[in-house]
Structure 1
Amino acid sequence: MPHRLLSHFLFALLFIASSASWTGASAQFNPKPGARAGSVVTTPRVRAELVAHAPEGVGPGQPLWLGLQITHQPEWHTYWKNPGDSGLPTELAWTLPAGLTAGDIAWPVPHTIRIGTLANHGYEGTVLLPVPVQVGPDFKAPLAGNGTLDVRLRATWLVCRVECIPEEGEFALQLPVRGSTALHAAAFAQSQADQPLALAGTSQVQVQGERLQLRVHGLPAAARGQTLALFAETPEVLVPAAVSGKDWTQAWDGDAWTADLPLSPQRGDTPERLPLVLALEQRPADRAAPHAWRTVADVNGTWAAAARASVSPALAAALEANQAASPTPAPTSASLGTLLAALAGGLLGGLLLNLMPCVFPVLAIKVLGFAQHGSNRRAQRLAGAAYTGGVVLSFLALGGLLLGLRAAGEQLGWGFQLQSPAVVALLAALFTLIGLNLAGLFEFGQFVPGRLATLQARHPVGDAFLSGVLAVAIASPCTAPFMGASLGFAVAMPGAQALAVFAALGLGMALPYLAASLVPAVVGWLPRPGPWMATFRHAMAFPMFATVVWLVWVLGQQSGIDGAGALLALLVTGCALVWSLTLRGRTRMVIASCLIAGGAWLASAIGQNITKPVERAAQVAVGANSAWHAWSAERTAELMTAGQPVFVDFTAAWCVTCQYNKRTTLTDSSVLADFAERKVALLRADWTRRDPAITAALAQLGRSGVPVYVLYAPGKAPVVLTEILSVAEVRQALAAL
């Protein structure tokens, strides 16, 4: 195909740059490249501000506090250091000048936030999370400039109402070295008043079976006789919903406060000491009066032996099976058998990946490439080897990026790049450009120097290599049969073994073309090069445009109808610009200039809609009359505890296999009838946008991508079905309930 090398090269650059930039926050939360970060980040749910308190300036021995002040919209909340039944605590990562050291967050006392049967510990309204900063003796104030220090913060928080949305922000503040910085003195004073005071008395914890007896001495006289709230700083020790409900008792025995509480079924080994916070349920009218106290109780007894005794049999079976199937926290070397099985699964999964509809446009282009070489066996062999190299190296690069980001703490899985609306939009623009080229609207040689225009003819090996890069870019969101288990194993293996699995995936995908290049009989059925190739080339533009339609639909699921509309408007403007560049003379200059100006205005006016997130409730396609409901780990646990079977569809809009299964097997009348007959709850986990909770749930099941279909049944281990779902398979699994 004439001049295809340049299009592939542009695609490779765009894809690598887009995937790398995705690892940070979305454009809503991060400053644009080259711009200064501000002290305030505003989202539809919170207003977060970096604030400081230095009443005597910045110097050794002088008090200095920094903090993140979060103002929540009504009904929204963020979390304490122990979030309770669900949630994640806010995390702060500081970049400070030499000589300054930030301490831990001085967490204000939280309050209990109930959502259904769950109890969380967190904050509503306005809260300040203060951090003490130590100024070392080696600190040197700047002698030049404006006498300020550059303070930077990267913060992440989970904000929830009923749905939960992870957010993050980059903050910067210029802190004066000399003079008072006390603009937020009242907020820091109130935050100080909200800190629990340390108790001087002793506290003991006695473990008896599945309950914990607590005895606390040293509470002030003002607290005696009062009803207290209890918060454990260590997660998964107590049951927050029970502690905030009726499944515990508290009483006063003279000056000692006692409580009898249930232990969490998710608890780990017995610690020697247990930090606890006690707070008055009725806070004094004087907001500065003490109302909370912190104690560290000595633990007597053990609770690890009966760690899961209080869990229902159905939930216990599910937890144990998931634990056995999930990867270990730290990568460990796989046995030879496990490694060989993962490699074989990867090879077979990569081979079957060629049958996925995502890969069809590249298949057609490769067929045309083989026909172009005709009977030139040497050119065919070189093209096959180069294509294989492009596929395998791209899989290795994508796998290495995934493993590296996961090791850095990012909750990612296979197909992660299409969770970014910006990447989806770039791919849509690129495939539109390639489609216009295939349709014959323009040739790349019209816009570039002749030497570049003949690169494809002079370097066919490079063209074949970049064709492999393009194939992986299109195929990466798909999960073929056998791929799911192999990828699940891979992310838990050491780096070398994991990359071997990704290489096996690439080799499997490239194998048909490598075989075709080495065995003449494989391509003997292709007609000789001739006029038919031009017709075939023009016809291949339509699969490219179909891919653009799919990408626009994916963006609509991520950013709503406004985002999809903005992308379509920009694509139409881009097509008109390409057409104008094919004109001649003065007409080309005038029309192209108008379109460039119009496109720039359009991008500034509506471009932000492309990356604007929509609410989770709007993303999950479950209507009021639908049998499907939005997934959450808590909802699954509730249903399992009640003894109800649960079927979970882990899906994403950009996953073509997911959409195929959703519109065929999962809408089959016999399957739906079986679900209804056996009273199976249907939950859908939408991974279209980045969701750490879904990533963690997939990891528990030993998977790293979608689709994944899981049937939970009372008293039985979860059943993970195949990626290409059939009616017979689902009905057979349901019949075994």
Structure 2
Amino acid sequence: MDTPASSSSGAGSYVVTTPRVRAELVANAPDGIVPGKSIELGLLIEHQPQWHTYWKNPGDSGLPTQLDWQLPPGWDAAEIAWPTPHPIRIGNLVNYGYEGKVLLPVKVQIPTTFAADSTSATVQLKASWLVCRVECIPEEGSFSLAIPAKSSTGMYAADFAAAHAQEPVALQGESSATVEGSKLQLRISGLPAALQNQSLQVLPESANTLHHAMEAGKDFTQQWDGAVWTATVPLSDARGDTPAELPLVLTTTDRTAAGNAVAWRTVAPISGQWQAAAVAQVSPELAAALAKNAEQQGAAPAAPPAASGSLWLALLGGLVGGLILNLMPCVFPILAIKVLGFAGHGNQLREQRMAGLAYTAGVVLSFLALGGLLLALRATGEQLGWGFQLQSPLVVALLATLFTVIGLNLAGLFEFGHFVPSSLAGKQASNPLTNAFLSGVLAVAIASPCTAPFMGASMGLAISMPAAQALLIFAALGIGMALPYLLASWVPAVVRWLPRPGAWMDTFRRAMAFPMFATVVWLVWVLGQQSGIDGAATLLALLVLLAALIWALTLQGRTRWVLSILLIAGGAYLISATGKNLSNPAPQIASAAQPNARWQPWSAALVAETTAAGRPVFVDFTAAWCVTCQYNKRTTLSNPEVLQAFDGKQVTLLRADWTRQDPAITAALNQLGRSGVPVYVLYAPGKAPVVLSEVLSVQEVVDAVQALPTQG
């Protein structure tokens, strides 16, 4: 019986898919798992067209694929049995790697102590690879595979056989390498007779030994001396010290099999010493290719700190983004009431200025705290982006509760001072700086997810910067948000411009309760997207009980305490009975792909598959808690002119919903140099992705789509 290995419910899956490769952990155990015998494991990589990964010696650039196994006790994994690679020429560079489909097999010895009565064994793998076309992208995956112990696992036997057929065969003849200046004289015997008088390729297994981009007849000559193959090959300009021996793989230029093999391996002892390069430097060709990659990706190199010009632009973007945040419906009431409060202070300029500084400190420190938390979590490996706090349903519920309380306070239902002891209320009144500071903290708590407009590139750049520079950008965002209030507190002309105090101020305050209640409606809707209709209903019921409790606490006498106790008990019962609805994920029925739906759920594999088929793709990276996303969705992306342009170019429309944390979407945003939503990307076959503005206009989308070639 031939039973395929199944995925494990442990950490990871046996398949990892990215826009460039599909990687699968596979096994070949035709006799099951037998103590004292061996099985084969392997990483099967299927590349998208024009993409490649690398051999053990990647050549002039690149990195070899790395496999880190976590096996049952006593299991012993050998090294990768590397199939013979193909030379991949890119300009003046030559790399060694694989295109199409390749299997990297590994022999695993089973110990004699393996329990013969086991039903299965789980193997885990952490793999990393560099995949390149013109640009290069490091990728990794965690794999887990359960292998049946008693039944045959052989559905990939043909792939293992093909991989072994591509392995170099060890030569039995003699080999030698003699140093002559900057060249190496090779002399190799034992090759099959069918190869005589054919041209061979030399693939060194060791990096920084031979010059990879050698040209036949110029710096690389070869000939046959009877059954002995001889060649003169150039040494690498980045060569290190002379090793004792040089492992080589020889193959034909057309990969014609001879003696049931396509390549042959030998280890040639080296006679003489070559002069090592003073410093192993990156070749000019490689440096040019890396610069081209960076230019095409639209990003600065990762290692060095950001250029000062990029940093200043990011700081300016943070400042402008912070200013715009003051127009958000949840922030504007706080700002307006605080500024109008100056009208009641008369000429107390010093108090106004101190309040302005306290509010600014609350805003800036809150943004620094959020930014520092984000950077710290990302440093530990968490795949998070800006706005991560609203990806938690419990945080959304707490914010809805907070804004309900604020709205009821603004509406005049209660005053905070009535719920605290008179001594504390006196301290609050005598210390307005604390109130101003907390107002700044409050404004940031809800405004932070909406920083994407005019800020996407700055936030993406910030997360890739050193921590100190990144925190400067977060501070700039806070300064921009606090700037209107700070200027109003320090410029007397603003106070003189304000209307005189009067009954209108109480009316204005009560009117500002409604933007707060509107924010609560939005937050309940967000929670409904995350936890479904049951979660939204539970939150609404709890908010009603909270409002009733606040009203009860405004009563007098015995009624106040009876009603309050009953309402608290009712709230506790509701939380215990239905509280789990707040954190349960929403049913995924609505996210399933519908054949006739205009917008389909996003996946990196679907983007790669669609563009590989020659069709363009437009991706809307969105979230329910992002106000700008919803505005763009209901205006620009629903505009008939935009939809007609999409249809005319046969653009596939995908929506990446980041309402809840999704590592795959976070990784895709990071690759685009963004750390939050909204992000709008147009993928065209064979071209770099085009990232559009965060605040979309109809003309911008139509122009970008019309620039696409017409589909046949």
Bin the TM-score by the shorter chain.
0.5 to 0.7
Q: After superposition, where does 1:40-51 map in structure 2 within 5 Å? A: none
The answer to whether the Cα contact below 8 Å between 2:77 and 2:107 also exists between their aligned partners in 1 is no
Q: After superposition, where does 1:722-733 map in structure 2 within 5 Å? A: 722-733=693-704
The answer to whether the Cα contact below 8 Å between 2:620 and 2:654 also exists between their aligned partners in 1 is yes
Tell whether 2:481 aligns with 1:509: yes
Q: 1:445 is aligned with what amino acid?
A: G
Separation in 2, partners of 1:660, 1:204:
53
Tell whether 2:297 aligns with 1:324: yes
The answer to whether the Cα contact below 8 Å between 1:109 and 1:196 also exists between their aligned partners in 2 is no
Tell whether 2:460 aligns with 1:524: no
Deviation at 1:461?
1.8
Q: Decide which moves more: 664-673 or 343-352.
A: 343-352
Q: After superposition, where does 1:667-678 map in structure 2 within 5 Å? A: 667-678=638-649
Q: After superposition, where does 1:3-14 map in structure 2 within 5 Å? A: none
Deviation at 1:248?
8.1
Q: 1:413 aligns with which of 385, 395, 403?
A: 385
Q: 1:524 is aligned with what amino acid?
A: R
The answer to whether the Cα contact below 8 Å between 1:80 and 1:110 also exists between their aligned partners in 2 is no
- Partner deviation per Cα, 1:315-339 (whole Å, 9 max, x = no partner): x99x957973357666x41122121
Q: Would the alpha carbon gap of residues 560 and 548 (structure 1) be closer, same or farther in structure 2, given more than 3 Å must change?
A: same
- Partner deviation per Cα, 1:367-396 (whole Å, 9 max, x = no partner): 433333344322222222221121111111
The answer to whether the Cα contact below 8 Å between 2:40 and 2:106 also exists between their aligned partners in 1 is no
- Partner deviation per Cα, 1:666-704 (whole Å, 9 max, x = no partner): 100101111111111111111100111111111111111
Aligned residue in 2 for 1:539: 511
Separation in 1, partners of 2:76, 2:157:
27
Aligned residue in 2 for 1:498: 470
Q: Would the alpha carbon gap of residues 81 and 660 (structure 1) be closer, same or farther in structure 2, given more than 3 Å must change?
A: closer
Deviation at 1:545?
1.0
Separation in 2, partners of 1:87, 1:368:
61
Aligned residue in 2 for 1:556: 528
Q: Would the alpha carbon gap of residues 693 and 300 (structure 1) be closer, same or farther in structure 2, given more than 3 Å must change?
A: farther
Q: Would the alpha carbon gap of residues 722 and 669 (structure 1) be closer, same or farther in structure 2, given more than 3 Å must change?
A: same
Aligned residue in 2 for 1:605: 577
The answer to whether the Cα contact below 8 Å between 2:40 and 2:107 also exists between their aligned partners in 1 is no
Tell whether 2:13 aligns with 1:79: yes
Tell whether 2:656 aligns with 1:681: no
Q: Would the alpha carbon gap of residues 299 and 371 (structure 1) be closer, same or farther in structure 2, given more than 3 Å must change?
A: farther
Q: Report the 3-state secondary structure (helix = DSSP H, G, I; strand = E; otherwise coil) of the residue aligned with 2:13.
A: strand
Unaligned runs of 5+ in 2: 1-5, 26-37, 50-68, 88-96, 110-123, 133-140, 142-153, 169-202, 208-246, 252-288
Tell whether 2:258 aligns with 1:258: no
Tell whether 2:359 aligns with 1:425: no
Q: Would the alpha carbon gap of residues 469 and 245 (structure 1) be closer, same or farther in structure 2, given more than 3 Å must change?
A: same
Q: Would the alpha carbon gap of residues 196 and 523 (structure 1) be closer, same or farther in structure 2, given more than 3 Å must change?
A: same
Separation in 2, partners of 1:247, 1:669:
53
Q: Would the alpha carbon gap of residues 673 and 499 (structure 1) be closer, same or farther in structure 2, given more than 3 Å must change?
A: same
Q: After superposition, where does 1:254-333 map in structure 2 within 5 Å? A: 257-259=164-166, 300=249, 324-325=297-298, 332-333=304-305
Separation in 1, partners of 2:408, 2:204:
66
The answer to whether the Cα contact below 8 Å between 1:357 and 1:656 also exists between their aligned partners in 2 is no
The answer to whether the Cα contact below 8 Å between 2:44 and 2:103 also exists between their aligned partners in 1 is no
Aligned residue in 1 for 2:621: 650
Deviation at 1:523?
4.1
Separation in 1, partners of 2:108, 2:311:
58
Deviation at 1:654?
0.4
Separation in 2, partners of 1:419, 1:233:
27
The answer to whether the Cα contact below 8 Å between 1:558 and 1:689 also exists between their aligned partners in 2 is yes
Tell whether 2:271 aligns with 1:337: no
Q: Report the 3-state secondary structure (helix = DSSP H, G, I; strand = E; otherwise coil) of the residue aligned with 1:613.
A: coil
Q: After superposition, where does 1:350-389 map in structure 2 within 5 Å? A: 350-389=322-361
- Partner deviation per Cα, 1:447-485 (whole Å, 9 max, x = no partner): 211122234431122211111111111210002543111
The answer to whether the Cα contact below 8 Å between 1:390 and 1:468 also exists between their aligned partners in 2 is yes
Deviation at 1:250?
6.5
Q: Report the 3-state secondary structure (helix = DSSP H, G, I; strand = E; otherwise coil) of the residue aligned with 2:685.
A: coil
Tell whether 2:562 aligns with 1:628: no
Deviation at 1:527?
1.1
Deviation at 1:259?
4.4
Number of aligned residue pairs: 514
Q: Report the 3-state secondary structure (helix = DSSP H, G, I; strand = E; otherwise coil) of the residue aligned with 2:482.
A: helix
Q: Would the alpha carbon gap of residues 246 and 716 (structure 1) be closer, same or farther in structure 2, given more than 3 Å must change?
A: farther
Deviation at 1:249?
6.4
Q: Would the alpha carbon gap of residues 523 and 716 (structure 1) be closer, same or farther in structure 2, given more than 3 Å must change?
A: farther
- Partner deviation per Cα, 1:486-507 (whole Å, 9 max, x = no partner): 1111111111111111111111
Q: Would the alpha carbon gap of residues 515 and 270 (structure 1) be closer, same or farther in structure 2, given more than 3 Å must change?
A: farther
Q: Would the alpha carbon gap of residues 597 and 728 (structure 1) be closer, same or farther in structure 2, given more than 3 Å must change?
A: same
- Partner deviation per Cα, 1:147-184 (whole Å, 9 max, x = no partner): xxxxxxxxxxxxxxxxxxxxxxxxxxxxxxxxxxxxxx
Tell whether 2:335 aligns with 1:401: no
Deviation at 1:711?
1.2
The answer to whether the Cα contact below 8 Å between 1:648 and 1:709 also exists between their aligned partners in 2 is yes
Q: Report the 3-state secondary structure (helix = DSSP H, G, I; strand = E; otherwise coil) of the residue aligned with 2:85.
A: strand
Q: Report the 3-state secondary structure (helix = DSSP H, G, I; strand = E; otherwise coil) of the residue aligned with 1:710.
A: strand
Aligned residue in 2 for 1:577: 549
Separation in 2, partners of 1:409, 1:215:
27
Q: Report the 3-state secondary structure (helix = DSSP H, G, I; strand = E; otherwise coil) of the residue aligned with 2:497.
A: coil
Q: 2:13 is aligned with what amino acid?
A: Y
Q: 1:258 is aligned with what amino acid?
A: A
Aligned residue in 2 for 1:699: 670
Separation in 2, partners of 1:676, 1:234:
40
The answer to whether the Cα contact below 8 Å between 1:206 and 1:214 also exists between their aligned partners in 2 is no
Deviation at 1:556?
0.4
Separation in 2, partners of 1:708, 1:218:
45
Unaligned runs of 5+ in 1: 1-68, 90-105, 118-129, 133-190, 221-230, 262-268, 274-297, 303-315
Separation in 2, partners of 1:250, 1:580:
74
Separation in 2, partners of 1:559, 1:301:
60
Q: Report the 3-state secondary structure (helix = DSSP H, G, I; strand = E; otherwise coil) of the residue aligned with 2:694.
A: coil
Separation in 2, partners of 1:327, 1:419:
29
Higher relative contact order by CA 8 Å / sep ≥ 6: 1 or 2? 1
Q: After superposition, where does 1:198-209 map in structure 2 within 5 Å? A: 203=81, 205-209=83-87
Separation in 2, partners of 1:107, 1:435:
67
The answer to whether the Cα contact below 8 Å between 1:651 and 1:686 also exists between their aligned partners in 2 is yes
Query: Aligned-residue CA RMSD in angstroms?
Result: 4.4
Separation in 2, partners of 1:215, 1:518:
68
Separation in 1, partners of 2:672, 2:583:
31
Separation in 2, partners of 1:215, 1:503:
48
The answer to whether the Cα contact below 8 Å between 2:39 and 2:107 also exists between their aligned partners in 1 is no
Q: After superposition, where does 1:83-232 map in structure 2 within 5 Å? A: 85=21, 203=81, 205-209=83-87, 211=98
Separation in 2, partners of 1:88, 1:421:
34
Q: Report the 3-state secondary structure (helix = DSSP H, G, I; strand = E; otherwise coil) of the residue aligned with 1:679.
A: coil
Q: Would the alpha carbon gap of residues 406 and 568 (structure 1) be closer, same or farther in structure 2, given more than 3 Å must change?
A: same
Q: Decide which moves more: 205-214 or 650-659.
A: 205-214
The answer to whether the Cα contact below 8 Å between 1:82 and 1:235 also exists between their aligned partners in 2 is no
